[in-house]
Amino acid sequence: MTRKLSPLLVLVAGVACASAPLPTEGELTREGRTLVRFAGTELQSLVSFRWADGHLGDEWLVLAVWLSGGSAATTTVDRDGIRLRGPDGTRYPLPSQEAFRAAYGELQLALRNVDFLHPPASGFAGLREPCGRWFLASPWEGFAYDTVFVTPFRYCSGPLAFLVPGGVQPGRWVLEIDLPESKVRIPFVLGEAGGG
């Protein structure tokens, strides 16, 4: 099931949270129960929150994320520009690479079950090529990167894991990505009765 949210609804959702800046002009589409697509001028993104939705109470919230350029030639996405906002407004940064590797034992099951290598929907397939860079790397994967560069023809993908002290709670979460020219806000709801 695909549900389109109008750009006006995206703006209204951004205004409803007074602490959040307005999102990039773009379109949010919910594709199935646990997948959200964002299409904007600087960035396109798919966010799968399937694992997080099935693991409320966990100390780590794990997302599978695909990032691609919008209509811009190249978009720079910095690690420091990525955060997660919880239902109570608390913001959680991406962990450092050292903290991620230290917690890898706790995260291993989630990371094995979050398939981020193959986009689950159209729009990130075809002639696009993966970029081979990501913000978090397992102990045997080599380097993690502080910056990834995406274009309309290249996407980067991987897990995003956020430490949530006290455990992941149901409610409205927002993946926040600050870009050089704009701010992207991708909301999703955990623990929604009956899906949708």
pLDDT digits (tens), the chain, 196 positions: 444 444 433 433 343 343 444 445 678 999 888 999 999 889 999 999 999 999 999 999 999 999 988 876 789 999 999 999 999 999 999 999 999 999 998 898 888 887 666 666 666 655 567 787 899 988 887 789 999 999 888 888 889 999 999 999 999 999 999 998 889 999 999 998 544 3
**How is residue 159 written in tokens?**
């897990």
Per residue, the 3-state secondary structure of 43-89, as one string, reads EEEEEECHHHHCCCCCCEEEEEEEEEECCCCCEEEEHHHEEEECCCC
The model's pTM is 0.82
Domains in the chain: boundaries: 2-190
What φ, ψ does residue 183 adopt, rounded to 5°? -125, 130
